[in-house]
Amino acid sequence: MGLSSSKTTTTNDVSASAKPYLTSASNAVQSAYDTNSANTSNMTDTLTSLFNSYSSNLGSNLSSAYDYANSILNSDSASNPYLQNIIDSTNSSVSDSVNALFSKAGQTGSSRQIGELASQLAENESNLRYTDYNNQQTQKQQAVQDLLSLNSADNSNISTLSSLGSSISDLSWADASNLASALGALWGGSTTSTTTNSSSLASTLGSLLSSGASVVSAASDPRLKTDIVKEGEFPDGLGIYSWRYIWDEAKRYRGVMADEVAKLRPWALGPKIMGEYLTVNYGAL
């Protein structure tokens, strides 16, 4: 099926007396939508920038923290480069103290002096090595706690990124859906139905919009779009685009492409238009 068809569709018409009022109200709704579109675009750009910055900084900071905690956890208890210097320095003080004591007693070089010196030197070194070992074990225990906290923070940050991504994708969809609902509420309750032969996709989509069907707002098949510009990308590769619809080239819309959704998030596809053109259920993204 191409962009033209000869399917029979139902179009709606309104009474002549009601049409001027409905047209005026529709213009007011459209004006409000157009005014808010700039605000929506600015908010979307801000959120996208925040998303990209947050994601980049988060990865760098968490990676450094993980590396530091793992380096402590995997460190060798004999790897302290300063320990031997401390032992040598304190052993020198112990030797001076013992030698001075036995010198005063006139027992320099005696077997008792040699035994006492060896005993105190061994005790000094053992105490220092035990203290260093105990300190390293305490640091490793803290590193385990830090890694657990980092994992928790990582999960929390993933949730934050997901929330930002949902907000980015929902803004334009919400605006378009509200516009369709408002126009549908205005025109849908004041119409009489007649059956005509539609010869184009644009006519079919126009009929859906006038009846308030929100599926038009979610029409995301690339064949229905023109002037497509890629503006960003989700972590899984799903692109964020702006475009104009082929039946409404006066305004730009923002969202995703249904063909990419079909590959990356197929559960978020909506019903097909005319049995052929893909739509996206933004709420399922």
| pLDDT, position 3 | 45
Comparing CA positions, the residue from 58, 54, 48, 62 lying closest to residue 234 is 48
CB-count burial class (<10 Å; 0-12, 13-18, 19+) for 38: exposed
Would the pTM of this model clear 0.75, i.e. be above it? no
State residue 74's pLDDT score. 78
pLDDT in tens, 140-159: 788 778 767 766 666 666 66
Q: Measuring CA to CA, how many Å separate 263 from each of 229, 239, 240, 257, 259?
A: 20, 12, 15, 10, 7
Tokens of 70: 């793992």
Reduced to 3 states, what is the DSSP secondary structure of residue 31?
Answer: helix
Cβ-contact 100, 70 below 8 angstroms: no
C-alpha distance from residue 195 to each of 171, 174, 274 (Å): 36, 31, 17
pLDDT of residue 81: 83
pLDDT at 34: 73
The predicted structure's pLDDT at residue 173: 61
pLDDT tens digits for range 224-258: 899 999 999 999 999 999 999 888 888 899 999 99
Whole-number Cα distances in Å, 151 to 101, 128, 148, 187, 267 = 57, 35, 5, 53, 29
Contact 201, 5 (CB under 8 A): yes
Low pLDDT (below 70) residues in the chain? 1-18, 21-22, 29, 33, 50-62, 66, 76-79, 147, 150-173, 175-177, 179, 182-184, 186-218
- The confidence score (pLDDT) of residue 114 equals 92
